[in-house]
Amino acid sequence: MHVLKVILFSLLFTASATAVLYPIQDQDYTGNTQRIQLPDNSSWRGKLGDHVTVVWKDGTAEPSMSGNIEHISDLYIKLNNDADGQTQVIFVANIISLKHADDVSKSSDAEDEVVERTDDEDESTKTTKSDDPKSPDLSKQGVFILPMTGMVGTEFRDEEIREIVRQADERGQGQIIVLAINSGGGYVIESTIINSVIDDACERHTVVAWIEHAISAASNASLHCDQIIFRTTGHTGGITTIMGNKAVSDQELEKRIKLLEQTLIKKNRPVEWGRCLVREDTFLSATKDPETGEITWYDTLEGEKVFSKRGQNLVFNALDAVEYGFAIGIADTPEEVAELLQLQDGEWELAGNGEELNEDWVTMGERFQRAIKQDMAEIRNLGGTRSDINKMIKIYQSWIAWHRKAPNWAWQRIPPIDQLKKMIADLRYQLTQMGGAGGRAGGGGGRGPR
């Protein structure tokens, strides 16, 4: 009974402590869950101490190794080899595959099985997919619209962007990808990966940011796009950064400013925007010549129009964005977007399933939140009987399944897979101490993904 109560307390404390509210600033949680973009454009998410199996290129050989991660960076990882306890440095550029060791082994233990939901699922959460999509007219310009909503790194992910880019690639180079952005920001590490995916897409297609609400990391993503269009009520800016509950160092801010300035230069946008988007202790003003339309930007308040002053990051509304060259225009419908992009009627068509991609992932998040809330309520009512312990095991199994089905949601709300497996093992040990049969899970409980 004591072991069960300790587990329950630890679980409930962890779940409540890791609940995340929408941030206005980018969040940098280095030291917790991190993400690495691999050479094949896939990505791996994990943290120090995770047990992984990696395959990498070493000349003509492709060695494989399992062990615990000791260091993670964009350039390399350090792995403590299970076989001899030695540390191996492996450069990210050489990695062929990187997976959690439990994903590789795929054991038949119950904790590795996907636990199906046994309760009735709300029919409103199911997405209806078209069995007979309209055949594309390849003589027309394809316009692929992908809604990018919610927190960067949770709802707003690189996975959906990669998929819509893949669909555009199938149609051929030179397509138009419109990211319809409505986001208040999110996680730095996720933002970096998203920006890289957008940069890659821009090599083959025209990528457009269609902004309703784009703050912080979402605003940064828009600046990596080729063109920017606003909705009538759109606004963007304030690319600020915090680490946990405190501001980052001046050195780190200057590094982020430099990266942003490089992006602005690459996209032929005023470099003066960079510093005041990131820092609150700078000035920005501008004067527009009424005859030529030429705009002169100042890092002082001497311009006729003041955009940023101390204590205030640069934020553009729709009218100012168009007037001062941040955006090419204002549009509230796909047809108006096409007109701004100088696409003639009858020469373009909506393509891809961007709306469905966004809806599917948002729906998955809603299912996850609802299931975890129900599981937490059930956990609070469990005791130390054999039946209750088996129900607890079943719930933990369902959470392992959620980690694989909805990782962006799961790592914020529930313990990691390794910890869950340990909790399951502890509960099974407790069952053996109670005597009789029952080393395996039984009974109800758990609302895992389908």
Whether the pLDDT of residue 347 is over 80: the answer is yes
Mean pLDDT in residue range 72-93: 81
Contact by Cβ (8 Å): 65, 46: no
User: With pLDDT > 90 as the criterion, what percentage of the chain qualifies?
Assistant: 44
Find all residues with CB under 8 Å of 409, minimum gap 6, and list them. Answer: 154, 364, 365, 368, 369, 402
pLDDT of residue 413: 87
pTM of the model: 0.69
Is there a contact between 231 and 207 (Cβ–Cβ < 8 Å)?
Answer: no
Sign (positive or negative) of CA dihedral 56, 61, 64, 67? negative
Q: What is the three-class DSSP state of 268? A: coil
Q: Which of 36-50, 188-202, 282-296, 397-411 has the lowest mean pLDDT?
A: 36-50
Q: Say whether domain 141-345 belongs to CATH 3.30.470.10.
A: no
Greater pLDDT, 373 or 139: 373
Residue 222 scores a pLDDT above 90: yes
Tell me the pLDDT of the chain averaged across its residues. Answer: 81
pLDDT exceeds cutoff 70 at 7: no
pLDDT at 82 over 60: yes
CATH number of 33-106: 2.30.30.520
Instruction: Read off the pLDDT of each residue in 14-40 and give the average, rounded to a whole number.
Output: 47
For residues 60 and 52, what is the distance between their CA atoms, to the nearest angstrom? 23
Angle between helices 2-17 and 386-405 (to 10 degrees): 30
> Under a CB-based contact definition with an 8 Å cutoff, are residues 405 and 360 in contact?
no
pLDDT band of residue 121 (cuts 50, 70, 90) is: very low
Hey, where are the domains in the chain? 1-20+107-124+359-450, 33-106, 141-345
d(CA 332, CA 322): 14
Tokens of 195: 């920006």
pLDDT at site 28? 39
290-308 in b/e form (b: 16+ CB < 10 A) is eeeeeeebbeeeebeeebb
Question: Quick check: 129 pLDDT over 70?
Answer: no
Mean pLDDT of 157-178: 93
Pairing status of strand 206-215 against strand 227-237 = parallel
Largest CA distance in the chain: 90
Closest CA to 327 of 232, 229, 233: 229
74: confidence class by pLDDT, cuts 50, 70, 90: low
Burial (CB < 10 A; 0-12, 13-18, 19+), residue 108, is exposed
N- to C-terminal Cα separation, the chain: 32
**In this predicted structure, what is the pLDDT of residue 205?**
95
Residue 177 vs residues 119, 127, 197: alpha-carbon distances, Å: 39, 23, 12
Residue 304 pLDDT exceeds 70: yes
Give dist(CA 265, CA 267) in Å, integer.
5
Which of 46-55, 117-126, 223-232, 352-361 is predicted least confidently?
117-126
Cβ-contact 285, 305 below 8 angstroms: yes
Report the pLDDT value the prediction gives residue 233, as an integer from 0 to 100.
93
For 412-440, write each residue's pLDDT tens digit: 889 999 999 999 999 999 998 887 544 44
The pair of three-digit structure tokens given for residue 9, joined into one six-digit string: 């307390």
Yes or no: say if 253 and 231 are a contact pair by the CB < 8 Å rule: no
Helix 158-171 to helix 354-380 angle (10° resolution) is 160
Q: Which two tokens stand for residue 20?
A: 């995340």
Q: Residue 420 belongs to what H/E stretch?
A: helix 417-434
**Report for 98-112, 129-143, 262-276: range of highest mean pLDDT:** 262-276
**What is the signed CA dihedral for 185, 187, 193, 196, rounded to 10 degrees?**
40
CA distance 26 to 262: 19
The band of 103, judged by pLDDT with boundaries at 50, 70 and 90, is low
Beta bridge partners of 65: 54
Element (H, E) at 359: helix 354-380
